Structure 1
Amino acid sequence: MSHHVPAALRRQVWERAEGLCEYCLLHERDDWVGFQIEHIRSRKHGGRTTLANLALACLDCNMAKGSDLGSVTRTTGVLLPFYHPRRNKWTDHFRLQGHRIQPLTETGEVTCRILGFNARSRLQKRKAIALAGNYPGTEALALLRE
């Protein structure tokens, strides 16, 4: 497929994610900018523009991830892939604790650290959204209960 993501495919990705960033669980309606369709495995690493390789991502997560596939863990120094929204279950790798996203695994740790889940600005954003009664949103709560 081409690098362009056709409108119908974009819609499928958004609907599957129910408007949630598939990494940090922020809902698009609660962010200041629209979310992006991102390649889980970037095109430069052979990723294809297919439903199975696309995820909905907020600008913060997508910009931090870029074309990276993973990172070296702090504890063991082993290169591990990031959390993969199609292959991994979010609650196996992360826990929502107030406004913080706590990693539960080394995969969760590298994803959380590199994508900057708990950067000060992002914690402040989630706190403000929570004060408005929208974080975590109903879609995120349903995913957390699975």
Structure 2
Amino acid sequence: MEPAIRNEVRQRAGNRCEYCRLRQEDEEESPFHIEHIIAQQHGGTDAQENLALACSWCNAVKGPNLSSIDPDSGELTRLYHPRKDLWEDHFRREGPYILGLTAVGRTTAWLLRFNDTDNLAQRHLLLELGELD
């Protein structure tokens, strides 16, 4: 992938993970990834509308998944799509927690384990330091 495309994806995302909203500057030891929203193995391309900036955690746990099971309804549900969905429509942050507001939000938050112990601890620390907006 061309460096210009990587830079454009980073700028569009404001240097934040497009899934959990972590800032790259809060994760300096682990550079964020340019992620295929729809994995290439599922027909996804390198087109800008299929690329998102993702922290190492979100990229690793999302993998090639396009959907999962909504933890509330038990229904197969698509994941959040950073190019087609608005984050605020599907998620809300309460303190260090990221809550899913919709089936898409709940499913994505569950699959990407937004509220696992380590992620909560990191967001709690960032809140205490006044560095989480």
TM-score (norm 2): 0.96
The amino acid of 1:101's aligned partner reads: I
Q: Which residue of 2 aligns with 1:21?
A: 17
Name 1:143's counterpart in structure 2: none
Structure-1 residue corresponding to 2:103:
106
Corresponding position of 2:120: 123
Give 1:75 shift: 3.1
- In 2, the alpha carbon distance for the partners of 1:48 and 1:64 equals 20
Q: What is the rounded CA distance, in whole Å, between the counterparts of 2:97 and 2:73 in structure 1? A: 24
How far off is 1:128 after superposition? 1.2
Q: What is the CA RMSD across the aligned residues, in angstroms?
A: 0.9
SS at match of 1:13: helix
Give deviations 1:103-136, integer Å, cap 9, x for gaps.
1001101100000100000000111122222112
2:6 corresponds to: 10
How many residue pairs get aligned? The number is 132
| SS of aligned partner of 1:110 | helix
| Residue segments in structure 1 that go unaligned for 5+ positions in a row | 137-146
- Within-5 A mapping of 1:1-146: 5-31=1-27, 32-136=29-133
> Which secondary structure does the structure 1 equivalent of 2:131 belong to?
coil
Aligned mates of 2:98, 2:34 — CA distance in 1: 22
TM-score normalised according to structure 1 size: 0.87
Unaligned runs of 5+ in 2: none
Following superposition, the deviation at residue 78 of structure 1 comes to 2.0
Which secondary structure does the structure 1 equivalent of 2:68 belong to? strand
- Cα distance in 2, alignment partners of residues 41 and 78 from structure 1: 20
